Homo-oligomer: A and B are copies of this chain.
Amino acid sequence: MKQLFLSRTLTIISIVALLAVTAHAQQPEITLLEQAQQLFKPLPQDMATTEFPITPMRVALGRKLFFDARLSLDGTVSCASCHRPALFGTDALPKSIGVEHRLNAHNAPTVLNAALQFKSHWIGDRENVEDQAMKSLTGYASFGNPDTETVIKKIKALGYADNFAQSFPEQKDPIKPENWGIAIGAYERTLVTPSPFDDFLRGNVNALTPQAQRGVNTFIETGCASCHSGIGVGGALFQKFGLVEDYWKAIGSQTLDEGRYSVTKNPNDKYVFKVPSLRNVAKTPPYFHDGSVATLPQAVIVMARVQLGKTLTEQQVADLVAFLNSLTGKLPEDFITELGLPPQALPATTP
C-alpha cells in the first residue's frame, strides 16, 4: 500500500516536472501529439486485471444482474437506475435516488471506463468496481437490502442459481454478495468507450478538429493535466477541491461536503475528493460531487479558478470544451441492449 502511494507520488512528481518542462522550456521539436502521448494513454480493449480476470460467463451474468431491479429492497432499483445506458451510465440527477426515495450523498459517476480508476466513489471509500457493486446491495441509499441473507435468498428465488454455478465452477456455494460484485465487475470491465482522442493518441492527428487540438494544448498548459492525466484523463489520485478558493462558494453547494475526511478523519483530507475521469464528461451532466453545476463550460471555468487560480478567456473555454467533447466515446453494444432476465417474480407482498 505504501509502495503504491510512493509510486503514485513519483508519477505525480514526474508529471509536474514534465509539465514544467513542456510549458516553460524551449523545445519546439516536441509536437502536441508527443506531449499528449507522454501524459495520456489510449483505452485498452477491456479492463481485466490479474486480480479481476473476466470470463464470458461472468460478463453475461453480470450484465443480467446489472439490469435486475428485483434484487433491491422494493424491486425498483437496479445498477442501471443510476447508471442508465442512454445517459452514458449516469442518471442526469445532481445526486442519485435509491430505494424508498433515499438520497445518495453524491452525484453518480458513469460506470463507463470506471474500472480504470484507482478507487471507486467520489471519496474513495470503495476499493474498486467489484467492491462498489457488492456494497450497493446492502447500501442504505442504493439497493437497501437489510442483510446479505436476504440478498442470497432473492438471487436464488429469481432463478440465478445455475448462472452463478457456471460463472464460479470452482466454488461449492457460489451465491454470495462477493460473487455478485465480481460478476457485475466483470461486466463493467468490458465497458470501455474508445473516443476520437484515443485515435489521436494512437497517431491519427486528424481525429481531433483544430479547435480540439488547441484545447489539448490549453488543457496541458493551463495545468489541468497535472491531475487529469493517464488512461482515464483523471481517476488516478485524490486532490483537494478548492486549492485556491472555497469550492462550495464557487459552485453554490447546498451542503458542505468534507470529502475524504469523512472516511479517514485525517484533517489533511478535508475537502479532498477523487479526481474524476473526464472520459464522456460532455455527456454526463450535472457536474461535481454534488451535481451543483449544470453545464460543461461553467464546470471548466470553475475548475480553472478554484484549482489553478486562473481566469480563462472565452476562446480557451471553447477550446477546452472542444477537447472534452473528443473524449466522448462509442457506447458498448451490450450496454445499450437490455436482454433476457429470468422471468420469475418474488413471492407477492404488498410493499
Residues in chain A within 8 A of chain B (CB atoms): 67-70, 74-76, 81, 84-88, 91-95, 97, 99-101, 103, 254-255, 282-286, 290-294, 336-341, 343-351
**Besides the known contacts A75-B91, A86-B341, A293-B348, 5 further A-B residue pairs in the complex with CB atoms under 8 A apart:** A85-B338, A86-B338, A87-B341, A97-B351, A103-B351
Closest CB of chain B to A144's CB: distance in Å? 11
Interface centre among A70, A74, A86, A255 (most CB of B within 10 A): A86
Q: Is the CB of B348 within 8 A of A88?
A: no
A74 to B98, CA, bound (A): 11
A94 with B343: CB separation less than 8 A: no
Give Cα A45–Cα B255 distance, bound, in whole angstroms.
54
Decide if B92 touches A285 in the complex (CB within 8 Å).
no
Selected A-B contacts with CB under 8 Å, 18 pairs? A68-B86, A69-B84, A76-B97, A76-B101, A86-B340, A92-B344, A94-B349, A94-B350, A95-B350, A95-B351, A103-B350, A103-B351, A284-B343, A285-B343, A291-B348, A292-B348, A294-B346, A336-B337
Which one of A85, A286, A292, A350 has the highest number of Cβ atoms from chain B below 10 Å of its Cβ?
Answer: A350
Contact yes or no, B101 A74, CB < 8 A: yes
Cβ-defined partner of A294 (8 Å) among B293, B339, B340, B345: B345
Question: A286 and B345: CB pair below 8 A?
Answer: yes
Among A76, A255, A336, A351, find the residue whose CB has the most chain B CB atoms closer than 10 A.
A76
- The docked-state distance in angstroms from the alpha carbon of A293 to that of B95 is 36
Q: Tell me the complex Cα distance, A67–B336, Å.
A: 12
Q: How far is the CB of A59 from chain B (nearest CB, A)?
A: 16
Give the complex CA separation of A91 and B69 in angstroms: 8
Name A157's closest neighbour in chain B (CB-CB): B294
Interface centre among A70, A93, A100, by most chain B C-beta atoms within 10 angstroms, is: A93
C-alpha gap A291/B348 in the complex (Å): 6
Max chain B Cβ within 10 angstroms of own Cβ: one of A75, A92, A255, A292: A92
| Interfacial chain B residues near A93, Cβ < 8 Å | 74-76, 345, 351
The reply to whether B67 and A348 contact each other, CB–CB distance below 8 Å, is no
Are B337 and A338 in contact, CB atoms less than 8 angstroms apart? yes
Given A86-B67, A336-B339, A343-B282, are A348 and B76 also a contact pair (CB < 8 Å)?
A: no
Bound-state CA distance A254–B351 (Å) is 11
Chain B residues with Cβ under 8 A from A87's Cβ?
A: 341, 343
Contact between B88 and A75, CB atoms less than 8 A apart: no
Residues of B within 8 A of A341 (CB): 86-87
Q: Is the CB of B338 within 8 A of A336?
A: yes
A298 to B: closest C-beta gap in Å: 10
> Could you say which residues of chain B place their CB within 8 Å of the CB of A81?
76
A132 to B173, CA, bound (A): 46
Most buried by B among A87, A95, A347: A87
Chain B residues positioned under 8 Å from A254 (CB to CB): 350
Q: How far is the CA of A81 from the CA of B93 in the complex (A)?
A: 16
Judging by beta carbons under 8 Å apart, are B74 and A345 in contact? no
Most buried by B among A97, A282, A291, A347: A97
